[in-house]
Amino acid sequence: MRSRVQFKQLTTDEALSKLEYFCAYRERCPKEVRTKLSELGMRGEAAEQIFHVLQEDGFFNEERFAMAFAGGKFRVNHWGRIRIRIELRMRNIAPELIEQALASIDEDAYIGLLQDLLEKKRQYYEGQEQARDKTIAALIRAGFEPELVFGMMK
């Protein structure tokens, strides 16, 4: 026998308060805000009203999100530009903002990170069969451009 759990419907003010906290916690993209609105049971005109209030009050901003996402994933997760671009596209970020965010990544830092990762992967796979291929594959999976990876392997 299944039990049905009844959730009380949030008022517009309660949902707005929850979403303000949600957006203040970290940078959010519009898609995440709309998904959270839906999860809270907000639909139609009320959802649009809350969305626009949050947007006008600066609780989320697509450009700010793209810049923070690209910088964070590069510095912390060591992702390459290809993977960052794919992830931003999945979040429905405008193409010009994606390019702007990718351009904000320092080229010297990008090459330096790739060299560091290349050396770590070489050491990790040292002595294994197909060590070179595994190293290349790992860096391409991390989102680095194949031509850049192959160029550094020479």
| In contact, 84 and 101? CB cutoff 8 Å | yes
Same domain, 69 and 51: no
Tokens of 118: 């290349």
* Residue 20: inside a domain: yes
Provide the domain limits for residue 88: 62-103
* Residue 3: inside a domain: no
How many helices, marked H, and strands, marked E, lie in the chain?
9, 0
Same domain, 77 and 97: yes
* Residue 4: inside a domain: no
Same domain, 41 and 67: no
List of residues 6+ apart from 111 with CB closer than 8 A: none
Distance of alpha carbon 141 from alpha carbon 54, whole angstroms: 36
Distance of alpha carbon 5 from alpha carbon 101, whole angstroms: 43
pTM for the structure as a whole:
0.87
- Total domains, the chain: 3
Q: Can you give the pLDDT at residue 6?
A: 47
* Residue 35: inside a domain: yes
Same domain, 116 and 87: no
Query: Which portions of the chain are predicted below pLDDT 70?
Result: 1-7
Q: Can you give the pLDDT at residue 61?
A: 95
Among 56, 71, 89, residue at a domain's last position: 56
* Residue 24: inside a domain: yes
Q: Can you give the pLDDT at residue 4?
A: 52
* Residue 39: inside a domain: yes
